[in-house]
């Protein structure tokens, strides 16, 4: 599944739309999300304003770090928030580093002993 997280933009064809960070996290926890595209400002009035696209990235990062079996989806950032974009891109880079380390560890553990 491709997950599009945005409270204002139209959802691209072939993607599933969610409008809040909470919905995105629930989908990540209960569905097979292969790709996710994130806006930062989600305008969710039912939650603290800190529930943003960045909150979703923090959740993905936590899963990558603490769950040895978790593999992060491909992540895109489509936010127009120029202040939040660099922070979100740094979050994606961190997730990608953890995934590379995890992959390298899996590879070294599965190498046959000669």
Q: Which residue has the tokens 């491909």?
A: 74
pLDDT, residue 108, reads 78
Backbone angles phi, psi at 3, to 5 degrees: -110, 125
Whether residue 113 is predicted with pLDDT greater than 60 in this model: the reply is no
| pTM, entire model | 0.88
Strand extents, DSSP E, 1-114? 2-5, 16-18, 35-38, 74-77
| The listed CATH number (2.60.120, 3.40.50, 3.30.70, 1.10.760) that belongs to domain 2-110 | 3.40.50
Asked if 5 and 56 touch (Cβ cutoff 8 Å), the reply is yes
| Residue whose C-alpha is closest to residue 88's, from 48, 38, 28 | 38
pLDDT, residue 79, reads 96
Percent of the chain with pLDDT over 70: 90
Percent of the chain with pLDDT over 90: 78
Task: Say what the alpha-carbon torsion angle 45, 47, 17, 63 is, to the nearest 10 degrees.
Answer: 160
């Amino acid at each position: 599944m491709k997950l599009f997280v945005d409270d204002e933009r139209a959802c691209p064809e072939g993607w599933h739309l969610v409008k809040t960070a909470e919905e995105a996290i629930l989908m990540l926890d209960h569905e097979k999300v292969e790709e996710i595209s994130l806006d930062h400002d989600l305008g969710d009035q039912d939650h603290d304003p800190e529930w943003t696209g960045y909150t979703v990235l923090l959740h993905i990062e936590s899963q990558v770090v603490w769950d040895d079996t978790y593999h992060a989806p491909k992540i895109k950032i489509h936010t127009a928030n120029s202040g939040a974009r660099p922070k979100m891109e740094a979050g994606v880079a961190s997730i990608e580093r953890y995934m590379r380390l995890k992959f390298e560890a899996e590879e070294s553990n599965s190498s046959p002993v000669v």
